[in-house]
Amino acid sequence: MTDTPNAAFKPRIFSGIQPSGGLTLGNYLGALKRFVEKQDEGIETIYCLVDMHAITVWQDPERLRRQTREGAAAFIAAGIDPARSILFNQSQVSAHAELAWIFNCVARMGWMGRMTQWKDKTAGKNAEAASLGLFAYPALMAADILVYHATMVPVGEDQKQHLELTRDIAIKFNNDYKVDFFPVTEPVIEGEATRVMSLRDGTKKMSKSDPSDQSRINLTDDADTIAAKIRKAKTDPEPLPETLEGLRDRPEARNLVNIYAALSGMTAAQVVAENAGAQFGTFKPKLAELAVAKLGPITAEMNRLLQDPAEIDRILGQGADRAEAIARPILDKVYDIVGMIRSRGSRG
């Protein structure tokens, strides 16, 4: 926590997901499901398909378009109501890119170089060949959030460091320009599945970019595929223990328990207590049944929505109009604070 008076800012949630592939169970439990909960708590919520982040690594244009629509369909199918939440794709609101440029001039090279995501993505490869956008990625992310004066950002565990950088950028901007303009945003990392792990390796995050499709459950997988992937998930030969303590050095087992907990709304401790002594031969089919029951209706609704891409585009366009109406006045004020002449008036 900080001393900066965030009380001056009204509670507003922003979060984003990259349309760089199909969404996974990790995205659903770590992000989407919680985006819906926040919306249903009645807080103002703004959700974004961050297509400009996606192109920091190569994206085939047709696939990017398809994945952006798929992402939007997943949000709506999971329970995001475009009348209550603002839902749009990032590139339609140019204020993000404009503020990102200013933040490129606030953030320091050293800060960016310390980002573990940057280090992971360039590890063992030629960092010289990575795009400049990949390096600057966290400044665009800070702009996504701060261009709305968002106070809270629900994300999975892997985004914690990027959110700390967002806070550093807000604080440095406020200090450099001697203003109290940007809020110091709070990460909201909560629930039983803030870090869903690969089904093949309990030490690796479940990711849409993992080369092995067996490592993840995709929101587009059908019931048989989900059941087969869970059946084949890596585990150990021990039965489930009596308490969570017994899962300490069993990352694969712990992961399946966490997934069960997050899908059922139980705590991991309750799941273990209820299944103490069970073999994975019994627990896995139970988990598969639960996963199919929860994800099946979402997949079906996504497929229905994707029949009408024009309607999805219309929803994204309307969301972008509403987002722009919030972002533009904030950005105009930033230009003024920084000392840019704006003699053409505000152009929305």
Nearer to ligand TRP, 71 or 82 (CB): 71
17 lies in the site for ligand AMP, by CB under 6 A: yes
The helix/strand count (H/E) of the chain reads as: 14, 5
33 is catalytic: no
First to last CA, the chain: 35
- Name the nearest CA neighbour of 14 among 94, 74, 90, 124: 90
**Least gap, CB of 43 to ligand AMP (angstroms):** 17
By CB under 6 A, tell whether 50 contacts ligand TRP: yes
Q: What are phi and psi of 300, to 5 degrees?
A: -60, -45
| Catalytic (active site) residue 286 | no
Kindly identify the residues of this chain, within the stretch 154-213, that bind ligand TRP according to CB under 6 A: 155, 159, 162
Among 205, 229, 284, 294, the active-site one is 205
Which residue, among 219, 224, 291, has the nearest Cα to 259 in the 3D structure? 291
Are the C-beta atoms of 185 and 167 separated by less than 8 Å? yes
Minimum CB separation from ligand TRP for residue 139, in Å? Answer: 11
Q: Which of 31, 240, 263, 312 is the binder for ligand AMP (CB under 6 A)?
A: 31
Residue 21 or 202: which CB sits closer to ligand TRP?
21
Q: With binding defined as CB under 6 A, does residue 153 bind ligand TRP?
A: yes
Could you say which residues in the range 13-32 bind ligand TRP, by CB under 6 A? 14-16, 18
Residues in the interface with ligand TRP (CB under 6 A) total 13
Sole binder of ligand TRP in the list 72, 141, 247, 263 (CB under 6 A): 141
With contacts defined by CB under 6 A, name the span among 135-143, 152-160, 233-241, 253-261 that binds ligand AMP: 152-160
User: Considering only CA atoms, which of 274, 209, 196, 205 is closest in space to residue 54?
Assistant: 209
**Main-chain dihedrals φ then ψ at residue 288, nearest 5 degrees:** -60, -45
Q: Which are the contacts of 157, defined by CB distance < 8 A and separation ≥ 6?
A: 30, 189, 194, 195
Find the binding residues for ligand AMP in span 186-245 (CB under 6 A). 194-196, 205-206, 208
Residue least distant from ligand TRP (Cβ): 16
Shortest Cβ contact with ligand AMP: which residue?
30
Whether 283 contacts 235, CB under 8 Å: no
* Among 29, 67, 26, 49, CA closest to 317: 49
Q: Which of residues 287-306 bind ligand AMP (CB under 6 A)?
A: none
- Please choose which of ligand TRP, ligand AMP, none residue 195 contacts, taking the beta carbon within 5 to 8 angstroms, the exact cut-off set by kind: ligand AMP
| Minimum distance from residue 248 beta carbon to ligand TRP (Å) | 28
What CA–CA distance (Å, rounded) separates 140 from 146?
Answer: 10
- Residue 102 near residue 334, CB atoms below 8 Å: yes
- DSSP letters of 241-264? -SSGGGGTT-HHHHHHHHHHHHHH
Angle between helices 251-264 and 280-306 (to 10 degrees): 50
Judge whether 121 counts as a catalytic residue: yes
- Angle ∠(93,99,103) on CA atoms, nearest 5: 150
* Span interacting with ligand TRP, options 9-17, 99-107, 118-126, 310-318, rule CB under 6 A: 9-17
- Partner interacting with residue 153 (select from ligand TRP, ligand AMP, none; CB below 5-8 Å by kind): ligand TRP
* Residues near ligand TRP, by CB under 6 A: 14-16, 18, 50, 53, 141, 144-145, 153, 155, 159, 162
Residues within the interface to ligand AMP (CB under 6 A):
17-18, 26-27, 30-31, 155-156, 158-159, 194-196, 205-206, 208
